[in-house]
Homo-oligomer: A and B are copies of this chain.
Amino acid sequence: MAVLNEEQVMLRDAARNWTQEKSPVAALRKLRDTKSATGFDAAAWTDMAQMGWAGVIIPEAHGGADFGYRSLGLVLEETGRTLTASPLVSTALTAATALMLGGSEAQQAAWLPKIAAGEIVAALAVDETAHHHPSTIALTATKSGTGYVLNGTKGFVLDGGSADLLIVVARTSGAKSDEPGITLFLVDAKAKGLERKCLNMVDSRAVANLTLTGVEVAADAVLGNVDGGFAILEQTLDRARAGLAAEMIGTATQAFEITLDYLKTRTQFGQGIGTFQALQHRAAKLYTDLELARSCVQAALDAIDEKSNDIRALASLAKAKAADVLHLASNEMVQMHGGIGMTDAHDAGLYMKRARVAEATFGGASYHRDRYAKLGGF
């Protein structure tokens, strides 16, 4: 397993300092209480882009730093610690990956520099139901003239409301759940016939439902090959899963550390509650799960950077283990804080709410256990 190099250590430290100072949990509270339309702070995002975080994985030729996914994971882990809401996952991770994997030279030249510069928000529109099923695509793209016409709906698109560019997963042939027959399209968010509804989620992050009614796109809007889009989609999703898992490890780690501090300061029955062995063992088990999950996330990100052949299994492993430990850490955070943890004034609730949304995004633990078993041949 790769240990961090000097540049990575600097990147992580920079991310930690910035998030702790400029983007503490209070920043998310503010976005929530002011009912921010975009769900993130534009000024903060500009800061992040200026520090190069929007282009961590993007090739230097397109204005990025070409630092790789493990490096982006370091930034995501820090933003996860403070529940920082930003287009990092939707744009700098997911959309950038899709363009890098499937984009033509022209498409990459057109969009990657803008993403690296933080000039645009881009979003992948894949799911059509409340549960993640990337091969179940009913939204149709039918040939018309030299281009295509898109009809259908998408649900819970990350930053779908504020996105300038949408990468829409559509069906050009085959049956509803076939992997062949899926095609990815680059769609301008201002396109005629595209309707967006922002949703108000428990974690206060911005997602949107999309309705496409006769949306017309040109032939050069196709990302990758017609009918062959699923391969790119799955590779993109695995990278998004590993990156999101890194954010989740950060969230879980911070939740654990806050709780551990509370165990050391809160007293009952004339004792620090952290001296009660039942709580000590629960804390020790949680720490164990955290360390185990951390290894999976790092291994998945390294595998992506090393282009090894077990990326799919490791991405499912990372997402599932991060989901399990974040689930436990957020529940223990509330329980071990007692009554105060139930109040909106305390951060515990925010960590738990973010936890559940992140758990469900790009497939929950149950989805990835099943996928891991399929990949393992059982």
Please, how many residues of chain A have a CB less than 8 angstroms from a CB on the other chain?
5
Nearest 6 pairs of A and B residues by beta carbon: A277-B277, A277-B278, A278-B281, A278-B278, A276-B277, A278-B280
**CA–CA, A365 to B233, complex, Å?**
39
Q: With a CB–CB cut-off of 8 A, which chain B residues contact A276?
A: 277
Q: With a CB–CB cut-off of 8 A, which chain B residues contact A281?
A: 278
**CA–CA, A280 to B278, complex, Å?**
8
Copy number in the complex reads 2
Interface of A is mostly: helix
5 contacts between A and B (CB under 8 A): A276-B277, A277-B278, A278-B278, A278-B280, A278-B281
Q: With a CB–CB cut-off of 8 A, which chain B residues contact A277?
A: 276-278
* Interface flags, A273-284, vs B, CB<8A=1, else 0: 000111011000
Q: With a CB–CB cut-off of 8 A, which chain B residues contact A280?
A: 278
Chain A, range 276-298, C-beta contacts under 8 Å to B? 276-278, 280-281
Q: Which residue of B lies closest to A279 (CB)?
A: B277
Q: Which residue of B lies closest to A281 (CB)?
A: B278
Chain A, range 242-283, C-beta contacts under 8 Å to B? 276-278, 280-281
Q: Which residue of B lies closest to A276 (CB)?
A: B277
Chain A, range 98-153, C-beta contacts under 8 Å to B? none
**CA–CA, A103 to B278, complex, Å?**
56
Distance in Å: Cβ of A325 to nearest Cβ of chain B: 20
Q: With a CB–CB cut-off of 8 A, which chain B residues contact A278?
A: 277-278, 280-281
**CA–CA, A280 to B281, complex, Å?**
12
Distance in Å: Cβ of A376 to nearest Cβ of chain B: 19
Distance in Å: Cβ of A152 to nearest Cβ of chain B: 30
**CA–CA, A245 to B276, complex, Å?**
36
Distance in Å: Cβ of A38 to nearest Cβ of chain B: 40
**CA–CA, A281 to B280, complex, Å?**
12
Distance in Å: Cβ of A272 to nearest Cβ of chain B: 14
**CA–CA, A281 to B276, complex, Å?**
11
